[in-house]
């Protein structure tokens, strides 16, 4: 049977929620009629579900460029990786941008030359620029997190009228993306023997590690719950980075741990300190494990979905003292941890990848179907 060839470009040098979500979406598409090539220097971030891998070609001197002439030069170099993958694995039918048009620009630079369609995933707010607006209108299909819609509309104003924007975002090729967890990698059940905190994210400043450490330092040592901090140290970025590890009693640090699931299963309180988290896949994973979720009351995605003292605990955004008080109270009440954790777990059960990605799966496979017919007829 002839298969269609999809290329995914991965220029981000560390694992994050967007990669995990993309991995789960790809898994939902099946492999019998689709061959997937991932262009990356970070194979360890992917599940190796029968993917082909190609090397990402990048100049270190350009790796952190995000604007100006050097930004375009960076993506021209990245485009060489796509040409190499085309040469190595054959004609590309569809290219998938796994992060956002500003990160995946190289796909658009070669679109007309190589003749593929582009599926664009938008996992975070997009910058307001003419270049990104032109990328968005050229994509065959766009899947976006709900929280990113305002920034997308703002960006499109660079190119389209308000009426054109309304038509565009309400069209068939512009669809909301709902993240989910794969059944094959569903988080293990957590323990309810004794309170134990988990914090897990990258060291990017907006993830809020500094706030969490400030809160933990505020709690007296004899009251401070045992804590596990799992972190990823981003490479090749101009964004501000928090320092880690920091010596503080009752806290154990793990850099990019391979046994994340077992660490999570040994905890039961998950703390998020991110600023306006677009989705928060790590929060969903902790919910699925039965953790009591502690999040800022910032009207971000999970703050809208979860109810304080029922399915989560909310603290005042940016307030380390309020966060410390909430954690101290939880540290004395394993019954409350279990009650809230079980309620959050029930909500997480609705976020299975097979259900959440079904609309995207139908759209992508429908989009690919004519390509399969064209290949069959050409024989």
Q: Are 74 and 47 in contact (CB under 8 A)?
A: no
Say what percent of the chain tops pLDDT 90.
54
The residue among 369 and 132 whose pLDDT is bigger is 132
3-state secondary structure of 293: strand
pLDDT tens profile 182-208? 888 899 999 999 999 999 999 999 999
Q: Report the predicted TM-score, pTM, of the whole model to 2 decimal places.
A: 0.81
| 30 pLDDT more than 80 | no
Radius of gyration of the chain (CA): 22
* Domains of the chain: residue spans and CATH: 4-181+353-378 (3.40.50.2000), 183-348 (3.40.50.2000)
Banded pLDDT at 161 (limits 50, 70, 90): very high
pLDDT at 379: 45
Q: Identify the pLDDT of residue 294.
A: 98
Q: In what order do the strands lie in the sheet with 251-255?
A: 251-255, 227-232, 197-202, 269-271, 292-296, 313-315
Average pLDDT, the chain: 88
Nearest Cα to Cα of residue 113 among 91, 88, 131, 129: 91
Q: Pick the residue with more confidence: 54 or 364?
A: 54
> Residue 1: its pLDDT value, please?
45
Given a cut of 70, whether residue 231 has pLDDT beyond it is yes
- Residue 98 pLDDT: 84
In angstroms, rounded to a whole number, what is the distance separating the alpha carbons of residues 169 and 235?
Answer: 34
**pLDDT of the residue at 237:** 64
* DSSP of 46-92: S--SS-EEEEPP--GGGTT--SHHHHHHHHHHHHHHHHHHHHHH---
Alpha-helical runs (H) found in the chain:
17-28, 68-89, 105-109, 111-114, 130-138, 149-156, 162-169, 209-218, 260-265, 281-289, 301-305, 320-331, 334-348, 353-356, 358-378
Given this model, what pLDDT does residue 273 score?
Answer: 97
Query: pLDDT band at residue 69, thresholds of 50, 70 and 90?
Result: confident
Q: Please give the residue that has the higher pLDDT: either 90 or 20.
A: 90
Give me the pLDDT at residue 363, please. 77
Query: Band of the pLDDT at 238, cuts 50, 70, 90?
Result: low
Higher per-residue pLDDT: 81 or 59: 81
Nearest to 292 by CA among 261, 263, 315, 269: 269
- The 10s digit of each residue's pLDDT in 242-274 is 999 999 999 999 998 989 999 999 999 999 999
Q: Residue 34 pLDDT > 90, yes or no?
A: no
Confidence of residue 321 (pLDDT cuts 50, 70, 90): very high
Decide if pLDDT at 347 tops 90: yes
């Amino acid at each position: 049977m002839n298969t269609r060839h999809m290329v995914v470009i991965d220029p981000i040098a560390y694992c994050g929620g967007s990669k995990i979500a993309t991995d789960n979406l790809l898994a939902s598409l099946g492999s019998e009629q689709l061959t997937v090539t991932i262009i990356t220097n970070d194979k360890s971030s992917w599940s190796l579900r029968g993917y082909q891998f190609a090397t990402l070609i990048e100049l270190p001197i350009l790796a952190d460029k995000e604007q100006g002439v050097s930004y375009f030069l960076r993506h021209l170099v990245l485009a060489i990786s796509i040409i190499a993958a085309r040469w190595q694995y054959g004609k590309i039918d569809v290219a998938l941008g796994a992060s956002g048009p500003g990160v995946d620009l190289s796909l658009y630079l070669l679109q007309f030359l190589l003749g593929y369609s582009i599926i664009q995933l938008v996992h975070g707010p997009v910058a307001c620029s003419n270049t990104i607006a032109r990328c968005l209108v050229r994509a065959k299909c766009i899947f976006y997190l709900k929280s990113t819609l305002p920034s997308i509309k703002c960006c499109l104003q660079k190119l389209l009228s308000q009426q054109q924007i309304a038509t565009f975002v309400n069209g068939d090729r512009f669809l909301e993306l709902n993240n989910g967890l794969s059944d094959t990698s569903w988080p293990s059940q957590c323990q309810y023997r004794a309170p134990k905190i988990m914090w897990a994210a990258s060291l990017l400043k907006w993830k809020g590690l500094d706030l969490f450490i400030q809160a933990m330092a505020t709690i007296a040592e004899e009251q401070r719950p045992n804590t596990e901090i799992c972190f990823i140290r981003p490479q090749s970025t101009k964004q501000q980075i928090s320092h880690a590890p920091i010596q503080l009693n009752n806290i154990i640090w793990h850099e990019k741990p391979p046994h994340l699931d077992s660490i999570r299963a040994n905890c039961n309180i998950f703390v998020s300190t991110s600023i306006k988290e677009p989705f928060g896949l790590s929060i969903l994973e902790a919910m699925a494990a039965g953790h009591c979720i502690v999040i800022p009351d910032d009207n971000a995605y999970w703050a809208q979905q979860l109810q304080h003292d029922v399915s989560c605990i909310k603290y005042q955004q940016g307030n380390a003292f309020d966060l410390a008080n909430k954690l101290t109270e939880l540290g004395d009440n394993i019954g409350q941890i279990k009650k809230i954790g079980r309620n959050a777990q029930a909500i997480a059960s609705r976020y299975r990848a097979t259900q959440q990605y079904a609309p995207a799966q139908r759209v992508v496979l429908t989009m690919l179907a004519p390509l399969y017919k064209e290949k069959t007829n050409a024989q």
